[in-house]
C-alpha cells in the first residue's frame, strides 16, 4: 500500500497557528461537498490544519441544481467571510407563494432576517473551496475513504487507491450515504427514502410563460408537488418531486435516458399551470436528475474515539426543509468552536453533539411532516384548497420559523 508523502509532511509539520485547547492540530476531512470545506476553513481559524479528501476525481463546480440558503445558513457563512461572495451569485427569494390548483396564497415571512438566497450548487462549491484554499486547506481528489484505524493519539485513514493518511482526528463530511457513519457505528441507521424522486429543469421565459423575479412558488400539482422561480440570469428554474414507490439511487436515476424522464414529467404535470409548460419546454440538456430524496433518522452515535460526523452524514433533514446545507454549515462551525475550547477531542465532540442534536432533529421532524403533505390524497387536497388562507392567517409563522431562521452562532463565546 502506498503512502502519500505530502500527507505525512502535513502531519509532521503543522503550521504554527493559534493553540486549540483540545490539543488537536491536524484533521482529515472526508468529503469536499458543503460541510467539508466549511469545517476545514473553520478549523484553520482555530489552529487546526485540515486536508479535505474527496472521492470525486476533481472539483465538482460543474454540478447542476440549485439550493436555497436560509438566513441562519447565510449568517454562519458570514463567520468564515463568504456570505457576500454567495449573495453576489445568488437570487434572493423575497416572497414565497403556495399554490394549489388555481388558488395561491402568499406565505408570511420574518421581517428582521434576509430572504432565502438561491444559489447554484456548483457556484456554492467553488466559493467554499476557494475560501478554504485561501485559508491554507489542502484538497486531495480521487480519495475514496474505505477504512480508518486508531493509532496512538490519532487515526490512519485508508483510501480506495491504496493511499494512507494520518491525522489527530477524522471528520466525516461524506454526505447522506456516509462511510464514516458506519465506521463509527456499524449499527448506525441508513438514510430513509422519502418516496419522492428529485429532478430539476431550466427553461427560457416566453410571452406565455414568465415569473416575477424574487418570488419562489411551492406548487401542489394535481399529481405531484413542484416548485419554481426565476433566476437572476432570467432563466426559469423548477424542481419536481415525483412520487415513486420504487427507489432509484442517483446512479440508477441518471442511467435512465433523459427523454424517458421528460415523458414522465410531461404526463405528471399535464393538468397543472405552469407545470405543463415547464415540463413541455424542458429539454434533455436542461434537466438535472437527482434520484431518490432522503431523510436521515436520528443517528445514535455522532462520534467515537477520534472520529466525528458533520452535515448530511449525521443530520439530513430532507430538501423539504430548505435547511440541509444551512444546518451542515452551522454544525461545521460549532464543531470547530468546540475543538477550540474543550480540553480534548472527545469532550469537544460531546459538547458539539450537545449543541446540535436537538435543533437538527426538530427541523428533521418538520421535514418529515412536509414530505408527507406533498402527496395529499383527493380529500386532503380539497381540504387544503379550502382552508389554506385561514390556515396561514391563523398560523404563528414567527413561532414556527423564527427559532430556525434567527439562530446565530456566537463564535467568540467560549464553549462551556
Ligand atoms: C433535490 C435536493 C434539493 C435540496 N435543496 C436544498 C435547499 O434548497 N436548501 C438546503 O439547505 N439544502 C438542500 N438540499 C440538501 C443539501 O444538498 C445537503 O444538506 C447538503 O449538500 C449537505 O452537505 P454535505 O457536505 O453534508 O454533503 P454533500 O453535499 O453530499 O457532500 C458530501 C461529499 O462527500 C463525498 N464523499 C462521499 N463518500 C466519500 C468517501 N467515502 N470518501 C471521500 N469522499 C466521499 C461526496 O462525493 C460529496 O462531495 C437539497 C438536497 C436535494 C437532494
Please tell me whether the peptide bond between 333 and the residue prior to it is cis, using omega within 30 degrees of 0.
Answer: no
- For the stretch 40-76, what's the b/e string if a residue is b when 16 or more beta carbons lie within 10 angstroms of its beta carbon? bbbbbbbbbbbbbbbbeeebbeebeebbbbbbbbbbb
CA 276/CA 42 separation, integer angstroms: 45
CA 5/CA 1 separation, integer angstroms: 12
Of 173, 136, 168, which is closest to residue 39 (Cα–Cα)? 173
Helices (H), 46-108: 71-78, 83-89
Tens-digit pLDDT profile for the chain (416 aa)? 334 434 433 333 334 467 999 999 999 999 999 999 999 999 999 999 999 999 999 998 878 889 999 999 999 999 999 999 999 999 999 999 999 877 899 998 899 999 999 999 999 999 999 999 999 999 999 999 999 998 888 999 999 999 999 999 999 999 999 999 999 999 999 999 999 999 999 999 999 999 999 999 999 999 999 999 999 999 999 999 999 999 999 999 999 999 999 999 999 999 999 999 999 999 999 999 999 999 999 999 999 999 999 999 999 999 889 999 999 999 999 999 999 999 999 999 999 999 999 999 999 999 998 888 877 777 777 777 777 777 777 778 888 899 999 999 999 999 98
**Distance from residue 408's CA to the centre of ligand 1 (Å):** 22
The edge-to-edge listing of strands for the beta sheet with 116-120 is: 66-69, 116-120, 91-93
Structural fold of domain 192-295: D-Amino Acid Oxidase; Chain A, domain 2 (3.30.9)
pTM of the model: 0.94
Q: pLDDT at position 17, please?
A: 64
Q: Where are the domains of the chain?
A: 5-63+121-191+297-373, 192-295
To test the ligand 1 pocket, which listed residue (325, 329, 332, 356) has its Cβ within 8 A of the most ligand atoms?
325
Name the one residue in this structure whose C-alpha cell is 486508531. 150
Q: pLDDT at position 382, please?
A: 76
Report whether CATH 3.90.1150.10 matches the domain 5-63+121-191+297-373.
no
Whether 148 lines ligand 1, by a CB cut-off of 6 Å, is no
Q: Which atom of ligand 1 is nearest to the CA of 60?
A: 49
Whether 194 lines ligand 1, by a CB cut-off of 6 Å, is no
Whether 71 lines ligand 1, by a CB cut-off of 6 Å, is no
Whether 179 lines ligand 1, by a CB cut-off of 6 Å, is yes
Q: Which atom of ligand 1 is nearest to the CA of 290?
A: 1
Amino acid at each position: 500500500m502506498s503512502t502519500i508523502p505530502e500527507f505525512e509532511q502535513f502531519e509532521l509539520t503543522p503550521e504554527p497557528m493559534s493553540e486549540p485547547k483540545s490539543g488537536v492540530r491536524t484533521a482529515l476531512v472526508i468529503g469536499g461537498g458543503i460541510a467539508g470545506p466549511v469545517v476545514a476553513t473553520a478549523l484553520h481559524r482555530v489552529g487546526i490544519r485540515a486536508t479535505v479528501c474527496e472521492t470525486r476525481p476533481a472539483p465538482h463546480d460543474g454540478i447542476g441544481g440549485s439550493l436555497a440558503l436560509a438566513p441562519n445558513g447565510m449568517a454562519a457563512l458570514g463567520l468564515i467571510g463568504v456570505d457576500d461572495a454567495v449573495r453576489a451569485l445568488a437570487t434572493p427569494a423575497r416572497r414565497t407563494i403556495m399554490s394549489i390548483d388555481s388558488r395561491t396564497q402568499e406565505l408570511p415571512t420574518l421581517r428582521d432576517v434576509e430572504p432565502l438566497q438561491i444559489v447554484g450548487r456548483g457556484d456554492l462549491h467553488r466559493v467554499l473551496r476557494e475560501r478554504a484554499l485561501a485559508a491554507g486547506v489542502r484538497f486531495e481528489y480521487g480519495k475514496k475513504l474505505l477504512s480508518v484505524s486508531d493509532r496512538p493519539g490519532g487515526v490512519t485513514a485508508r483510501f480506495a487507491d491504496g493511499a494512507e493518511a494520518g491525522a489527530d482526528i477524522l471528520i466525516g463530511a461524506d454526505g447522506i450515504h456516509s462511510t464514516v457513519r458506519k465506521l463509527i457505528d456499524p449499527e448506525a441507521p441508513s438514510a430513509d427514502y422519502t418516496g419522492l424522486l428529485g429532478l430539476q429543469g431550466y427553461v427560457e421565459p416566453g410571452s406565455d410563460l414568465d415569473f416575477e423575479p424574487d418570488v419562489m412558488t411551492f406548487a401542489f400539482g394535481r399529481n405531484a408537488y413542484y416548485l419554481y422561480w426565476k433566476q437572476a440570469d432570467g432563466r426559469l428554474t423548477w424542481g419536481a418531486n415525483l412520487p415513486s414507490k420504487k427507489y432509484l439511487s442517483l446512479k440508477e436515476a441518471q442511467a435512465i435516458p433523459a427523454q424517458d424522464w421528460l415523458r414522465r414529467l410531461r404526463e405528471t404535470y399535464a393538468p397543472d399551470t405552469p407545470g405543463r409548460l415547464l415540463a413541455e419546454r424542458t429539454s434533455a440538456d436542461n434537466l438535472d436528475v437527482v434520484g431518490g430524496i432522503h431523510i436521515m433518522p436520528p443517528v445514535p452515535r455522532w462520534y467515537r474515539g477520534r472520529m466525528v460526523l458533520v452535515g448530511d452524514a449525521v443530520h439530513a433533514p430532507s430538501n423539504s426543509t430548505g435547511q440541509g446545507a444551512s444546518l451542515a454549515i452551522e454544525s461545521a462551525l460549532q464543531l470547530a468552536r468546540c475543538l477550540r475550547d474543550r480540553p480534548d477531542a472527545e469532550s469537544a465532540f460531546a459538547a458539539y453533539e450537545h449543541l446540535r442534536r436537538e435543533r437538527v432533529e426538530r427541523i428533521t421532524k418538520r421535514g418529515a411532516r412536509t414530505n408527507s403533505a406533498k402527496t395529499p390524497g383527493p380529500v386532503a387536497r380539497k381540504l387544503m384548497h379550502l382552508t389554506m388562507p385561514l390556515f396561514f392567517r391563523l398560523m404563528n409563522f414567527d413561532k414556527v420559523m423564527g427559532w430556525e431562521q434567527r439562530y446565530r452562532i456566537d463564535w467568540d463565546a467560549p464553549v462551556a
